[in-house]
Structure formats: structure tokens, C-alpha cells
Structure 1
Amino acid sequence: MNRPARLAAAVLTVSMAMLTTACGSGGGDSSAAPIKGSGTGDGKTSVAPSASPGGVKRPEIKLSQDFQADFESWTNSDPKLQAILDDGREELRSKYAAIIEADPESKAVVFYNSDATQATARKWIRQFTDDGDSIIGKVRVFDPQVKLSDTGSGVLFYCVDERQASTKNRKTKKVVRTPDKPESLVQYRLRLDKSAQGVWKTTSLTTVPGACS
């Protein structure tokens, strides 16, 4: 799945300054700076559909048997931070599912993204679907760092290892593997804001290929 590593930075980059400010950056290069007090826990967490706190019905997101997204250490003892982790996880899964289903207009993608990020999310998905490609294999999503900013926004950094994933053309069945290079480990940096319905929607997203190597 070399396309995410190659295109993510160009397609999904939004408001880097906003994220680094929310993380308490003191200036300079913060590409790999941890969020203090993240307390993410250990071990691997199963990826079941998110719960629906407050009666909000969240979309059920299913990935195909040919593609797996493993979320590691995706837990936090603070319920507020866990809610941010849960909705941040489902935002990423919704985009993977939209590629697999060839559905750039996915309702799940809309559900987990604000107006500010929906267009860029659709553009990223169309990079695959317009070429008739789906995704197969496995990605590892790890090292989540989460906190609440002074303004009440959620800040979530995490890494995605795409080196065991590939694209597969629906018509020709041609498989293109992701290069085994540092750029295929991508750091995602999100700002999330809680909606009136209690959903932590992604309002800003930046990706940095190679930041997790």
C-alpha cells in the first residue's frame, strides 16, 4: 500500500501549527515529540466497533478478510481520553473501509470527520478508487499519544506501519506492495473536537511519512 505513504502528506495535511500548539510545543521541530501525560497503556486491543455513549448510534465499520488493521496499546485509564482514542481509531477504519468498498461518499467517513476534513478524506480515498484499486494485507497502528488541550480539543498522535500492506487492482488483480522504507511508517497527527452528539470528530489531520522510523 505504497499510496498512503506517498500521498498522505500531500492530501491530508491540515493546520500543523494548530496541532503543535495544542501539544504544548515550545517551537522547533516537533515531528516526533511525545505528548506528555498520555498514559496509553500496554498490549494489543481488539478492534470491535465503537460503543455508543450517550445514545449516539455509531456506524458499524467492517473491513474485508483480505485487510487487517491492528491497533496496539489503544487503551487509556481516563474515560475522556479513551473516548478520543475510540473515535480516532474509527475515523481511520472508516477510510480504509471506504477504499475497500469503493465508496468515497461513505457515511461513516462523514460521521467521524468535520466539514473541515471531509473533502480531504474523500480525495485520499479517490486516489485508490479512481484507479480501481483496493487494499489488502495488514497495517499496524501503534504508539498512540493522546491528551486534551487547554481549549478542550482532543489531540491524538499515532503511527501506522504500512509495510505489510498492498494495493490490489479490482479488474487486473495486479498487486503492488508498499516499499519497505522508513517513509512507509507514517505518523498521523489529529485534532478532534466533541460534537453536540458526543462524537469526537476529526477537525484537523496532518501526516508525516517517516516520522515513526
Structure 2
Amino acid sequence: MNRPARLVTAVLTASIALVLTACGSGGGDDSSSGKIKGSDTGASDSPSTTASAASGTKRPEITLPKSLQVTFSGWTNSDPKLQAILDDGREQLLGSYSAIVEANPESNAMTFYNTGAALATGKEWISGFVKKDLTLVGTAQAYNPQTRVSPDGSGTLFYCVDESKGSTKDRKTGEITNTPADKAHVLYQTKLSKNDTGVWQTTSVTTTQGGCR
């Protein structure tokens, strides 16, 4: 399913699935868990420090509330180029969650880590949450990332997100809607391009609900 279709499905089914990252081959070389603000460590609201700064480019600070916890399993690779793709792909995902929580499709993280079709559809997708006055709560785990650099120089990143313990919440009524079990393990497939400042920006996204079962 491409993202425009998922825009409608995600809001109607109130899935926690977040827009971005996943493609390629050749995964990470260990199973360490990357922690961010609001992760299962119980950390308070503070800037995420997960992004690589190898290019010397200043990344936007990304924060998540305690009500939304995200962990990453296996997001390391011994190849510096592949690790850079993993790092920026991870921040793209976090930036999408943050934009939904902040009800801001134009957030700095969205425009920094996305470009082209991914940016346009990402803004539209987040706007769907804003119009329905929904936010995200609970926990999610991104796991089994696989990445590579293609012959044309672009990057691909595949990964899964377990949303089984994630929910949407109506900001006005407080009503919670859980992610359906058969759609909880979402496959993300994305393509990335390295810009002039050394940032791997996501250029396209495909997601499949239940694709990692």
C-alpha cells in the first residue's frame, strides 16, 4: 500500500503507524536498542541525541512526551555509510511521531529529513491526524532494519514497527483507540538520497500494515 492510501487507512483505523523509513538489504550487526526521549527508560522530555553528526550538519532537536515511548532494536551497522542511513532514517521516523504529537505538519524535523514526494505525502498524512484532533500514545518498537546503498548512489531502508502497544487518542474526549492486532506489525519501505549537506533525506515511502507478521 502506498502512503496516500495509508493516509486514509491510518486515520480511519486509528493506527499508531508513523510515516517513514524502510528498504534495502544487509542489516545491522547487533541488536542494541537506541533510546530517545520518552523511551522505556522513563526519561523526561528532552532532546533526542540519536542522530549521527558525522557530516557536521546541525540536526533539529526532536522530543517526544512521556506518553509516547519508542525504542529501536538492531539499528547499528559496522559500515559508516550504512550507519548514516540508519541514523537519519531513525530520526525521520521520530520526527514524524513528533510532528503528529505537536500537530504540526510543517515541523523542522519533517522538512529536514524528508524531500520530494515523501515530504508532500508526509505532510498530508500528518494533517489527517490534525484535522481529526488525534495524537499518539503508548509504545512502539522499530526493529529488523535492512539497508544498502544502490548503484545509483541512493539509499534504501526497510524496517518493521511493532505498534501492538500503541494507540491514538482523541485530544478533546480522551478516547483511546488501540491498533488492530492484524495490522500492528507494519513494514516500512523507503528510498533516501544524500543531500549537499550530507543528510540522508527520505524521498519516497511505502508502508504495509501487517507486512511484518
> Does the alignment reach a TM-score above 0.5?
yes
CA contact (8 A) 2:14 2:167 kept: no
1:129 corresponding residue in structure 2: 130
2:203 corresponding residue in structure 1: 203
Letter in 2 for 1:41: D
2:44 corresponding residue in structure 1: none
2:70 and 2:12 map into 1 onto residues whose CA distance is 16
Please state how far the C-alpha of 1:136 moved relative to its aligned partner.
0.2
Please state how far the C-alpha of 1:40 moved relative to its aligned partner.
3.6
1:185 corresponding residue in structure 2: 185
Deviations 1:91-133 (A, max 9, x none): 1110100010111111110100012211100111112111111
Structure 1 residue 170 and structure 2 residue 139: aligned? Answer: no
1:193 and 1:5 map into 2 onto residues whose CA distance is 31
Aligned pairs (5 A) from 1:47-126: 47=36, 48-126=49-127
User: CA 1:126/1:201 → structure 2, altered by over 3 Å: closer, same or farther?
Assistant: same
TM-score (ref. length: structure 2): 0.82
User: CA 1:5/1:133 → structure 2, altered by over 3 Å: closer, same or farther?
Assistant: closer
User: CA 1:138/1:4 → structure 2, altered by over 3 Å: closer, same or farther?
Assistant: farther
Letter in 1 for 2:210: G
Which of 26, 31, 35 is equivalent to 1:46?
35
User: CA 1:49/1:39 → structure 2, altered by over 3 Å: closer, same or farther?
Assistant: closer
Root-mean-square deviation over aligned CA pairs: 2.2
Question: What SS does the aligned partner of 1:87 have?
Answer: helix
CA contact (8 A) 1:40 1:146 kept: no
CA contact (8 A) 1:184 1:209 kept: yes
Structure 1 runs of 4+ with >4 Å offset? 4-8
CA contact (8 A) 1:49 1:60 kept: no
Please state how far the C-alpha of 1:38 moved relative to its aligned partner.
2.9
Deviations 1:32-84 (A, max 9, x none): xxx2x334422322233313223211001001110011111110011110000
TM-score (ref. length: structure 1): 0.82
2:10 corresponding residue in structure 1: 3
CA contact (8 A) 2:19 2:96 kept: no
In structure 1, runs of 5+ residues without a counterpart are 14-18, 24-34
Letter in 2 for 1:208: T
2:150 and 2:101 map into 1 onto residues whose CA distance is 34
Letter in 2 for 1:103: N
In structure 2, runs of 5+ residues without a counterpart are 1-8, 37-48
User: CA 1:159/1:75 → structure 2, altered by over 3 Å: closer, same or farther?
Assistant: same
